[in-house]
Amino acid sequence: MENIFVITPVFNEKENIPRLIKSFQEITEKFENKFNFIIVDDGSIDGTIEEIKCLKDNLNLEVLDYGCNKGPGYAFATGFEYIANKITPNDIVVTMEGDNTSRIETLHLMIERLKREKLDCVLASPYAYGGGITNTGLLRTFLSHVANTFIKEMLGIRGIHTMSSFFRVYDARLIIKLQEVYQPRILMMNGFESMIELLKKIILLEASISEMSMKLDTSLRAGKSKMKVMKTIFGYFSLYFKQKEWNNRYELYISNK
């Protein structure tokens, strides 16, 4: 039976930790798999780490802490590097938000689709048919739609609704191949744009991708989003200038096979 590795970055999420830990406990009860939870702390100063250690009980949970705020991309890269010598081709890797906006009830469906259809990656998408966004400001929703449209054109991505969602399920063989091509950390970008970087690299590897509709309800999150809109927009623009480098590295990998 495959192991499931769950990588979750957190930054000043003390208020959200009790519900997050509870959702981890519910996951372990619903699945027969062995779960390995990896929470990567991105420089929290509000007692997040202490709250995790207090509540984790018997969960198989590791906290990675590098002591300063570098962004979710750096946190995910740290998580990928941590599991590099732990995952096997039979395993599954999950990435998700630490603020409870990832719908745990959707995870089972995502894993089942990954296995049933023999896919490389399943994305949770509020933009796919049957999904939706509630309790989110009109400006943030508008910017999200504009960013998605712009990024698709800028990076030549077709047939995918959601670009930047953290909530994804991967066949471990895809993660292993990404680490072979792009080194164990996989990601270069440190901000929220890192998820688009990862998606572009997955597409370059010609991986099979599907989307699972999800209702995104930001009222499930205590506190405000940590995304800085202007910083993220500049990060999106920088992706355009990085994609040639990613493509060249993949071509070099292929030529050396």
The whole-number pLDDT of residue 115 equals: 95
Answer for the pair 166, 214: CB distance below 8 angstroms, yes or no.
Answer: no
The whole-number pLDDT of residue 217 equals: 58
Instruction: Compute how many other C-beta atoms are within 10 angstroms of the C-beta atom of residue 41.
Output: 23
Round to whole Å and give the CA distance between 247 and 211.
24
Report the SS3 class of residue 123: strand
Answer for the pair 217, 101: CB distance below 8 angstroms, yes or no.
Answer: yes
Answer for the pair 217, 134: CB distance below 8 angstroms, yes or no.
Answer: yes
Instruction: Compute how many other C-beta atoms are within 10 angstroms of the C-beta atom of residue 46.
Output: 14
Closest by CA position to 197, among listed 221, 215, 181, 214: 181
The whole-number pLDDT of residue 228 equals: 65
Question: Residue 128 to residues 63, 80, 145, 213, 237: CA-CA distances in angstroms?
Answer: 33, 27, 12, 5, 24
Structure tokens at 94: 């999950």
Report the SS3 class of residue 108: helix
The whole-number pLDDT of residue 220 equals: 54
User: What is the pTM (predicted TM-score) of this model?
Assistant: 0.89
- pLDDT tens-digit profile of 88-124? 999 999 999 987 766 777 898 999 999 999 999 999 9
Domains and CATH numbers, the chain: 3-255 (3.90.550.10)
Report the SS3 class of residue 90: coil
Residues 135/140/146/151 CA torsion (nearest 10 deg): -100
The whole-number pLDDT of residue 160 equals: 86
Closest by CA position to 65, among listed 41, 39, 36, 82: 41
Instruction: Compute how many other C-beta atoms are within 10 angstroms of the C-beta atom of residue 117.
Output: 10
The whole-number pLDDT of residue 106 equals: 87
Classify 67 in phi/psi space as left (phi over 0), alpha (psi -120 to 50) or beta.
left
- pLDDT tens-digit profile of 53-85? 999 988 999 999 999 999 999 999 999 999 999
Q: What type of residue sits at position 183?
A: Q
Q: Which residues of the chain have pLDDT under 50?
A: 221
